[in-house]
């Protein structure tokens, strides 16, 4: 069956399905995610293209960064597919942490990689994105296409609007992302669409060790906040504090 026939079949199925059934599937996506991921502990989500090849420098960087973070005790979460996602899960897989893949049911391209220790498959992009960001203390975005950029701007919007706090956003790939940041500065910032502090949400770097160090600082800050508000008895505090050097 070719891609056109697959898409036709999918659209016919969606059009014929009742709205009530769609709501049930949406709820099932969220219940599944909340139930499986609520007790994760310190986690970093790594985003990036499914099309990145194994000989790409970005593939190798994602694998190395995930290994560095996993070696410090951080779980690694990805979209579960090939490319950058596979590289990150592969880097984490050999360590004693969770290597999580949140797959999406697509008629083409997406296929769960073999380096996950915990995997979930979602029907909807939006419910999957909630899970990718909800349980992580940092987001690392490697080069990617529309999906990756969608995830990047979703993350930026959540931090900008204070819907999530204490989260670091890192862009890996200065050569790749510099033109985008230039556009954001010269158009969005200069024309008053965003503020200077919004631009400062983004950390563009190629230094993987610096990313790990910054995440460590964020962890210590969060531990301190939890202590100050009297939440030392929570499981999340205990999981965070266990990673303090």
Residue in this structure with the two tokens 């994760």, named with its chain if needed? 40
Residue 205: strand pairing partners: 172
- Per-residue pLDDT 10s for the chain (245 aa) are 555 666 666 666 665 555 666 788 888 888 988 999 988 889 999 999 999 999 999 999 999 999 999 999 999 999 999 999 999 999 999 999 999 999 987 766 568 899 999 999 998 889 999 999 999 999 999 999 999 999 999 999 999 999 988 889 999 999 999 999 999 999 999 999 999 999 999 999 999 999 999 999 988 888 888 888 888 888 888 888 888 76
Backbone angles phi, psi at 47, to 5 degrees: -110, 155
Per-residue confidence (pLDDT) for residue 94, from 0 to 100: 92
* Per-residue pLDDT at 174: 96
Q: How far is CA 233 from the centre of its chain?
A: 28
Which domains are delineated in the chain?
Answer: 3-241 (3.40.50.450)
**Helix (H), strand (E), coil (C) string for the chain:** CCHHHHHHHHHHHHHHCCHHHHHHHHHHHHHHHHHHHCCCCCEEEEECCCCCCCCCHHHHHHHHHHHHHHHCCCEEEECCCCCHHHHHHHHHHCCCCCEEEEEECCCCCCCCCCCCCEEEEECCHHHHHHHHHHCCCEEEECCCCHHHHHHHHHHHHHHHCCCCCCCEEEEECHHHHHHHHHHHHHHHHCCCCCCHHHHCCEEEECCHHHHHHHHHHHHHHHHHHHHHCCCCCCHHHHHHHCCCC
CA distances from 137 to 41, 92, 107, 217 (A): 10, 16, 31, 11
User: What's the CA gap between 131 and 138, in Å, rounded?
Assistant: 13
Please give the C-alpha separations between residue 178 and each of 149, 159, 201, 205, in angstroms, as whole numbers.
14, 21, 15, 10
């Amino acid at each position: 069956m070719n891609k056109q026939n697959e898409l036709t079949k999918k659209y016919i199925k969606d059009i014929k399905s009742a709205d009530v059934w769609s709501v049930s599937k949406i709820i099932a996506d969220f219940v599944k995610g909340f139930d499986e991921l609520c007790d994760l502990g310190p986690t970093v989500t790594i985003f990036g293209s499914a099309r990145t090849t194994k000989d790409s420098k970005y593939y190798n960087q994602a694998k190395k960064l995930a290994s560095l973070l996993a070696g410090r005790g951080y779980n690694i979460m990805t979209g579960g597919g090939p490319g950058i996602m596979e590289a990150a899960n592969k880097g984490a897989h050999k360590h004693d942490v969770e290597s999580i893949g949140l797959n999406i049911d697509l008629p083409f391209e997406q296929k769960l990689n073999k380096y996950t220790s915990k995997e979930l498959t979602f029907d909807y992009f939006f419910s999957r994105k909630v899970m990718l960001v909800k349980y992580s203390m940092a987001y690392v975005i490697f080069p990617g296409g529309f999906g990756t950029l969608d995830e990047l701007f979703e993350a930026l919007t959540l931090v900008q609007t204070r819907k999530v706090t204490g989260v670091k956003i890192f862009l890996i790939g200065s050569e790749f992302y510099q033109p985008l940041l230039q556009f954001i500065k010269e158009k969005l910032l200069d024309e008053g669409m965003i503020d200077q502090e919004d631009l400062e949400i983004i950390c563009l770097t190629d230094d993987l060790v610096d990313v790990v160090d910054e995440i460590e600082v964020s962890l210590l800050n969060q531990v301190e906040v939890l202590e100050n508000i009297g939440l030392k008895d929570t499981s999340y505090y205990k999981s965070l504090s266990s990673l303090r050097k």
